[in-house]
Structure 1
Amino acid sequence: MQNRKGEDFLKLKDLIENIDVLETNVGDFDKDITDIAYNSKNAKEGSAFVCIKGFKTDGHEYIDEAIQNGARLIVVDEFFDTSKIKGKIDYIKTSNTRKALAVMSANFFAHPSKDFLLIGVTGTNGKTSTTFMIKSILEAHGQKVGLIGTIKNMIGSKEIEAQHTTPESYDLQKLFWQMRNEGVDSVVMEVSSHSLELFRVYASDFDVGVFTNLTQDHLDFHGTMENYFSAKLKLFGMSKKRVINADDSWGKRIIEMYPDCMTYAKDSNATVCARNIKLYVNKNQFDLWYNDKKEEILLNIPGLFSIYNSLAAAACCILLGIELDTIKKGLEELKAVPGRFEIVESNEKFTVVIDYAHTPDGLLNLMRTVNEVADGRKVLLFGCGGDRDRAKRPIMGEIAGRMADFVIVTSDNPRTEDPLKIIADILEGIKKTNVEYVVIPDRYEAIKYAIKNARENDFIVLAGKGHETYQILKDRTIPFDEREVVKNILKELRE
């Protein structure tokens, strides 16, 4: 693997430039380092191994394995007893190995994000759709665009499967390097709160940071909403320019901190706004306003939340100097975002829609959209993920009970938790309402029940899985693409 100037190595002194060195036994800083590993299994001859404390394992426990695999340098954190490795190999002690990994990775790949326009989108909801919209606008502007996010990574039209919303810092810098080598002009990426807190995007050169909204999620990781907000806020300290949702209460706080930012909102005092909004089952119409300029937009993605996402994308691209007619072209050419209010094509007299909504605010916005466009009963099928924020479960249950006519409570990705205990948490909220509901833990059977008992004009909403093509159970991950599930069930019921 070649990096700077086509070389297959980097001098150690260049690799560790700008990292915090607290202690070292390195004698020769001119020696060559061939690669970086944060998993001991990936260490190879001449590489540097950076010890990362994960949620389940600690890289410091695998130093010997990394050495056996050929590591030439070990990077440890300030609390590690270096007497355990003295005499075995060169080491560097640093205050934060996650931060060191990010800086070293950027150094190794010659800071690729400096060679293209980098846009980061953060927020609880809307990140995926907003990045797809920005990509479409930039492509309408004639750019070759890289995309990094929840659904997939892309270089132009070439797809690369995504493992995390935001990759680990080494993998991210390697992906940037690959994108630069393939001639991208700009990269738009989702930036999760985890990635900001864990320094995955540290040492990346952000030209624009975009904020969509902040609502309850990931409190199992962050603990409080203030901590969650503080993590998101880091992106805007790293960005040269900022685009902020002025209708969001947390967004208002960011605007106070960065008064020179670009703002967007619906029908309010912001730089970019939407007026004359018309919502339909499979599209939206609205007037996009920027100062005294207006463009009529026909958006192929329904829902008020989609208008907010398009405003975020438009504001970002206006900030980059793109004209409104190009923004209109880019927004209107985007036909859909996988798993975001995605209507399953069928010849039935009812409608089935798949959506990724998995937070209280996401579910509320989804059902508000359904209420705007549905003629018949609103049937909502959903669950909550295991090993994640428990506090949101009864909240989502209450929202479901208030917003739907009939609720089917089922499993999402239960992971290592008992699905029935997750469902019990959801029912605490549902029981505060008068909605009729049924519990069917097996998601396939739950979807089958919804379709088998559908009435004419029913609007069946499958929430939580969206673009995912799998289900994570306690002991295995199984294929589970809801588009295919729905089609198979319809075929089965017709036979």
Structure 2
Amino acid sequence: MKLSNLLEKLEFEVTRGNSGERIDPEVVEIKDVVNDNRKISEGSLFICIKGANFDGHSCAKEAAEKKAAAIVVSQDVELPEGSDIAVIRVKDTRYAMAFISAAYFGNPASKLKTIGITGTKGKTTTTYLIRNMLENAGHKVGLIGTIEVIIGDEHIHAENTTPESFALQEYMAKMVEAGCDSVVMEVSSQGLMLHRTQGFTFDIGIFTNIEPDHIGPNEHTDFEDYMHCKSLLFKQCKVGILNGDDVHVDDILEGHTCKVQTYGFNEDCDLRAINLAYIHKPGELGVFFDTDGFLNMHAEIKTPGKFSVYNALCAIAVAHNLGCTPEEIAPALKEAKVKGRIEMVKVSDDFTLMIDYAHNAMALKSLLTTLRDYHPNRLICLFGCGGNRSKLRRFEMGEVSGRYADVTIITSDNPRFEEPEDIINDIETGMKKTDGKYIKITDRKEAIAYAIDHGEQGDIIVLAGKGHEDYQEIKGVKYHMDERELIQEILDERK
């Protein structure tokens, strides 16, 4: 492949080695594209990426010595004397990598309907809802998100919510090859900040909601920065579908370049939910509602609360934009399930048990207040907190559970390099600010067994924090642990 084909949508300057002599990119042939110095080989194009802990620019000399054809840089680099490697100077190598990767894989996004979802909460659930609806209408849909990447029948464990641009383009190319006509993906604020989704324009961009999160040394400097990064999606999509009830929606739309549609409960929204009714049966919680606005239909979802209605409204709006009918949308909504997101697990006719990923105070409060609307006999919350993470999260989650649950079972999550009992004691510090009842059981299986054995008629039991995860991380080792399997083992033992 000619270098010029990879650079056609970028501003750049190409020079030879240390000489500074200009080169025509038409005459440089590229065998492959890499951003990992361990994968450099003769004829490669090596992209120097500056990360939090390592700067690829330090490997420029190594790339020349391994006879790479070219390197992409954003700063001066050291090269061997007499090197004739092509040096491509760009303003930002991450931004350039997105466009280079898209060209390298044949611009696969142009062959797919692309749907990107950003927001603090609801991204994962909404991606699966949209995929279910579109597949129900006869589309073949790829998925990229926090839990996994789905390409046809292949399920690949996800490392990041939004992969690096090279991996993202590679996944989309494989989707095209597998016969997919659409892809729905979670677009994190980090992914937008680091240009992972550049190189193409989304057909539909979605905003679910925003609250302070991901603010820290290696993430966002403050809430304004976090919000700004989320807003970038609406300068990179054709149609923006946004939660019109969110107080920050106007900030998210600042400088937008897309056509805008809104969903929510307010009368100003283009698609509204009306006539809500809660479903509460043993082992099942859900909502009935009707829609009003640009589409009128009756909907039923088997997950609880208003936030489930928001997710469903968003998915309905997307499906409608892509030509799906109410007759195709309704059954897909009713049957949609997402692993570890308010996932009901039937264990008894007396009480309801669910698994959810809520792993910070904000998410836990949202979940518990939603479940309160179903007037349980008792609301029981089982959770732990991750080791080597902020102690503040532990205090906050303990306080939230103490205030909103009737009984809290404090247990272990991923202790990492800390002692589980130390983490549990930190959670207890937050609990003690409330009058909430609680018990401490370090072993997570024992804690779940306690919850099941002590379940009463009409209780709702939440196993929070692990969600889709199927491991427990202890002292640097990930041990297999799936809560669904633990529940089944407990039930088998009780027989």
| TM-score, structure 2 as length reference | 0.88
| Change in CA separation of 1:368 and 1:69 when aligned onto 2, cut-off 3 Å | farther
What aligned pairs does 1:158-307 form with structure 2 within 5 A after superposition?
Answer: 158-220=154-216, 221-255=219-253, 258=256, 260-281=259-280, 282-291=284-293, 293-307=295-309
What aligned pairs does 1:11-50 form with structure 2 within 5 A after superposition?
Answer: 11-21=2-12, 24-25=15-16, 27=23, 29=25, 30-50=27-47
Q: Is the 8 A contact 1:216 1:361 kept in 2?
A: no
The amino acid across from 2:57 in the alignment is H
What aligned pairs does 1:32-431 form with structure 2 within 5 A after superposition?
Answer: 32-63=29-60, 66=63, 71-78=68-75, 80-83=76-79, 87=83, 89-220=85-216, 221-255=219-253, 258=256, 260-281=259-280, 282-291=284-293, 293-334=295-336, 336-347=337-348, 349-373=350-374, 375-386=376-387, 391-416=392-417, 419=420, 422-423=423-424, 426-431=427-432
The amino acid across from 1:41 in the alignment is R
Q: Is the 8 A contact 2:228 2:252 kept in 1?
A: no
Q: What is the Cα deviation at residue 299 of structure 1? A: 1.5
The amino acid across from 1:401 in the alignment is G
Q: Is the 8 A contact 2:117 2:127 kept in 1?
A: yes
| Change in CA separation of 1:237 and 1:46 when aligned onto 2, cut-off 3 Å | same
**Separation of aligned partners in 1, 2:417 and 2:194:** 23
The amino acid across from 2:473 in the alignment is I
1:491 aligns with 2:482: no
Q: Could you tell which deviates more after superposition, 48-57 or 380-389? A: 380-389
The amino acid across from 1:384 in the alignment is C
The amino acid across from 1:406 in the alignment is V
Q: Is the 8 A contact 1:274 1:286 kept in 2?
A: no
Q: Is the 8 A contact 2:386 2:413 kept in 1?
A: yes
**Separation of aligned partners in 2, 1:230 and 1:84:** 41
The amino acid across from 1:142 in the alignment is G
**Separation of aligned partners in 1, 2:491 and 2:388:** 32
| Change in CA separation of 1:434 and 1:223 when aligned onto 2, cut-off 3 Å | farther
**Separation of aligned partners in 1, 2:428 and 2:267:** 37
Task: For residues 263-320 of structure 1, give each alpha carbon's deviation from its aligned partner in whole angstroms, at most 9, with x where no partner exists.
Answer: 1112543111111112224243433323275311121333322111000111222333
Q: What is the Cα deviation at residue 46 of structure 1? A: 1.9
Task: For residues 59-98 of structure 1, give each alpha carbon's deviation from its aligned partner in whole angstroms, at most 9, with x where no partner exists.
Answer: 23444555566633222332x4335686274333332221
**Separation of aligned partners in 1, 2:11 and 2:391:** 38
**Separation of aligned partners in 2, 1:408 and 1:272:** 40
Q: Could you say what secondary structure the match of 1:219 adopts? A: coil
The amino acid across from 2:224 in the alignment is E
The amino acid across from 1:94 in the alignment is V
Q: Could you say what secondary structure the match of 1:174 adopts? A: helix
Q: Is the 8 A contact 2:61 2:78 kept in 1?
A: no
The amino acid across from 1:319 in the alignment is N
Q: Could you say what secondary structure the match of 1:249 adopts? A: coil
**Separation of aligned partners in 1, 2:178 and 2:89:** 36
Q: Partner of 2:20 in structure 1?
A: none
The amino acid across from 1:330 in the alignment is A
Percent of pairs with identical residues: 41
**Separation of aligned partners in 2, 1:102 and 1:385:** 33
| Change in CA separation of 1:46 and 1:388 when aligned onto 2, cut-off 3 Å | farther
Q: Could you say what secondary structure the match of 1:280 adopts? A: strand
| Change in CA separation of 1:419 and 1:401 when aligned onto 2, cut-off 3 Å | same
Q: Could you tell which deviates more after superposition, 230-239 or 360-369? A: 360-369
**Separation of aligned partners in 2, 1:153 and 1:192:** 15
Q: Could you say what secondary structure the match of 1:82 adopts? A: coil
The amino acid across from 1:272 in the alignment is L
Task: For residues 360-408 of structure 1, give each alpha carbon's deviation from its aligned partner in whole angstroms, at most 9, with x where no partner exists.
Answer: 3321221123223363322211233345566544333322111101112
The amino acid across from 2:305 in the alignment is G
**Separation of aligned partners in 2, 1:472 and 1:86:** 49
Give unpaired runs (5+ residues) of structure 1. Answer: 1-9
Q: What is the Cα deviation at residue 229 of structure 1? A: 0.8
Q: Could you say what secondary structure the match of 1:203 adopts? A: coil
| Change in CA separation of 1:455 and 1:331 when aligned onto 2, cut-off 3 Å | closer
Q: What is the Cα deviation at residue 322 of structure 1? A: 3.3
**Separation of aligned partners in 2, 1:93 and 1:474:** 43
